[in-house]
Amino acid sequence: MKLDSAIVIPSILLVFIIVLSAVSGAQASQGSDQAVINRYIVAVSANNGGKGRPVLRYAESDAKSFVNVLKDMGGVQPQNIVFVKAPSVAKLRQELDGLDKKISQGKNNGGRNEVLVYYSGHADDKGLRLGEEVYSWKEFRKRIDALNGDVKIAVIDACGSGAITRVKGGVAVPAFMVDKSSDMKGYAFITSSTQDESSQESDKLRGSFFTHSLVSGLRGAGDASGDGKVTLSEAYQFAFNETLQKTETTLGGAQHPSRDMNLAGTGDVVMTDLRSTSAGLDLDEDVDGRLFIRDENGALVAELYKKSGRAMSLGFPAGKYSVRMERPAEYKEASVTLQDNYRARLSQKQFAAVSAEKTTLRGGYEFKSERTCAAGDTNQCSLDSLDRNGTSRTTFNLYDHDRKPRKGVQIGLLATRSEDYFIGSQLSLFVNSANKDMRGLQVTGILNLAENVDGAQISGTVNYAESFQGLQLGFVNWVNEKSDGVQIGYINGALDTLGSVQVGLVDLAQQANVQVGFVDLAKQADVQVGFVDVAGTSDVQVGFVDVAGKSDVQVGFTNVSYKQGGTQVGYVNTATHSKGRQVGFVNVCLECEKTPIGFVSIVGNGVWSATSYANEMGALGISLHLGTAYFYTAFEGARLFEKGSNFRHFSDTWESGVGFGTQFGSYGSHFELEYMHFNTYDRFRMNDVDAGFHHRVRLGYLYSLLPGIGLGVGGTMNVATQGEQDDVILKPRGEYHDDVGSKNHKGRVWPGFYSAITVGRF
């Protein structure tokens, strides 16, 4: 059949026009869907909530973290970001009014306007606490509703009080973005807690629990669908789960984020697009565990739990990052460098196990505080991971043996053995063995063995551990390395540092806080209480015999300090160098910084001298001075010459006594004041002799003639009584005395003088 060209050509043109119209319509529709989105952020931080409220530490850093993730992955332009730090109510109103004007000017360019308001700081049931001012909830919400944006989202992370984990009072909201393909309008209020709960911030996270969890979700951890976008629902659900998990055991209690949304339109609210980041990190399907991602400055930028079986993408700025992975009884790390326009991949095989490192003590006995995951102890990290993620189980066998990480109870009729990390209890009749770190309890009749025990070992015979924190109770308790706890037994040994108490018959330690036993031996000890205490360095020793190279306080029958001693109180005190006071019956000190107090004090750098003298009674005496210039004890004996013998014959009258004195604090030539108490005898025999008494106060001057030789002269005041004798037998050569007293209690008083020669150190 022949076609008429007049009909065919117009038909072809008509079809072409229809197709062209359809294409143009589709392009117009697509262009409408891709309308320009103008996104604005006002980020407010307020650490100070007024009088009576603690100053927060991380409100400002929370605000920056929130803004940064939306700037990196949410399409927010830098010129549309407003930071408001510690504002007054008037200042915050002014900033919101200024934002309204900016949005109004932007409307001339067309497109949709989206506004996010983020607040981190104090609040209560009345509203935001801005210093001493309150921005009421009613007014604040009304102002958010009145903003010129098509979509308005408010994030409020508000704080109340706290210490390490600070309690925050009020409601909080995270920030979210709207996808370009939607025509969404309305508002969303996302809060960090319910009205009656507390929101919290953490020193370990260096930010609030909620904002930290939300930002991790926005980085990609919340992308449950795996489409490379994080929606409002996904981010909220991730932040809800993570916040609740992290706060269940805090001082502030469990925290439940909440939301109030009224959004109408097609599509879903998209907060971040992982494909918009300059750099990214893709986690392979085989990566499984809780991940902690830190930047090159050590700041924690994301935390999440990644399950195996599904890949995950995260977005970060370019830079170097470390990724730590925790699994039951495992602690691994990987390093990765992210570059612009490049996505790095990380698989399970790229993680390397981190070996446990011996921690270093600071200041003596901080061992317990050092053994933490936060301090870098990988064994403790493995135990923490096993505690959180392990499944508890109980087994009972004749010989119970487990080669894998274990959480629960091992019961062996004869013995138990664990070859990996263990949390729980080991019970047996004869032997318990834990080859790796253990947190829990070992109970047996014969022998407990462990690498490190954080808990207790109880045995009828021997407890042994490389190190332990807690309690060892047995006949013999022994630990090889640094430990922190209590050892109670007949023999307690710690070859390194024991940061607590030993109680036993014999206590041995390199370093110990407290030792209580019959014999206590330590290279360094804070306190030793026992019959015999021996230490290289000791703060306090209390015992019958105390021996230390260097000591602060010794209290005992015999105290010996070789190099440097502090205060010594005992019957016999000896020290080569003493910085403290010696108080005892006998004190021996080669070099003393303080004057000893005692019956006999021998001081190498003090006073030790012998004096021969003659006095007004016609007596020849010898005196020995021992002590220091400030205080010395004197021992003296004298015998009177027979009257009329011209000092050629001694009479039967003699005396001996003891006293004390001072040299007015100076050595060499000096004045001295002295008191002496004498027993006097009327015949020179040592037995069956009735004694009288003689009290003498002497003031004199000793002149240093040559080194070690001095000449002395002075006056005295004397009081003599009959005592057990029939009469008073002492009197001066001249008749210048005065008799006092009654018939049965006679006394005699007179002044006197003396001259002397002294040799020694004075």
Q: Is 279-353's fold the same as 607-761's?
A: no
**Minimal CA–CA distance to 39: which of 218, 142, 175, 157?**
175
pLDDT at 455: 93
The number of angstroms, rounded, from the C-alpha of 670 to the middle of its chain's C-alpha atoms is 55
**Minimal CA–CA distance to 537: which of 507, 529, 571, 547?**
547
pLDDT at 422: 93
Are 721 and 680 in contact by the 8 Å Cβ rule? The answer is: no
pLDDT at 114: 84
pLDDT at 38: 79
pLDDT at 669: 95
**Minimal CA–CA distance to 441: which of 677, 361, 387, 432?**
432
So where are the chain's domains?
A: 35-276, 279-353, 607-761
Q: Who's near 241: CB < 8 A, 6+ residues apart?
A: none
pLDDT at 631: 94
Distance CA 173, CA 120 (A): 9
Distance CA 334, CA 321 (A): 9
Question: Domain 607-761 is in which class?
Answer: mainly beta
* Strand 151-159 to 185-191 pairing: parallel
pLDDT at 594: 92
- What is the per-residue DSSP string for 311-372? -EEEEE-SEEEEEEEEETTEEEEEEEEE-TTEEEEE-GGG-EEPPP-----SSSS-HHHHSS
Are 66 and 175 in contact by the 8 Å Cβ rule? The answer is: yes
Which parts of the chain sit beneath pLDDT 70? 1-36, 107-110, 159-184, 195-199, 203-204, 249-253, 263-268, 329, 355-381, 385, 388-389, 684-689
Question: Domain 35-276 is in which class?
Answer: alpha beta
CA torsion 241-244-248-251 (nearest 10°) is: 150
pLDDT tens profile 131-164: 889 888 888 888 888 888 888 888 888 753 222 2
pLDDT at 633: 96
**CATH number for the segment(s) 279-353:** 2.60.40.1120
- Is 67 exposed, middle or buried, given 0-12, 13-18 or 19+ CB atoms closer than 10 A? buried
Provide the sign of the torsion angle of the four alpha carbons 736, 741, 747, 753, taken in this order: negative
pLDDT tens profile 348-405: 888 888 754 333 332 333 334 455 554 445 566 677 767 766 788 999 999 999 988 8
pLDDT at 126: 81
pLDDT tens profile 617-656: 999 999 999 999 999 999 999 999 988 777 788 888 999 9
Distance CA 161, CA 181 (A): 43
pLDDT at 234: 82
pLDDT at 634: 97
Place of tokens 């977005």: 315
Please compute Rg for the chain using Cα positions: 45
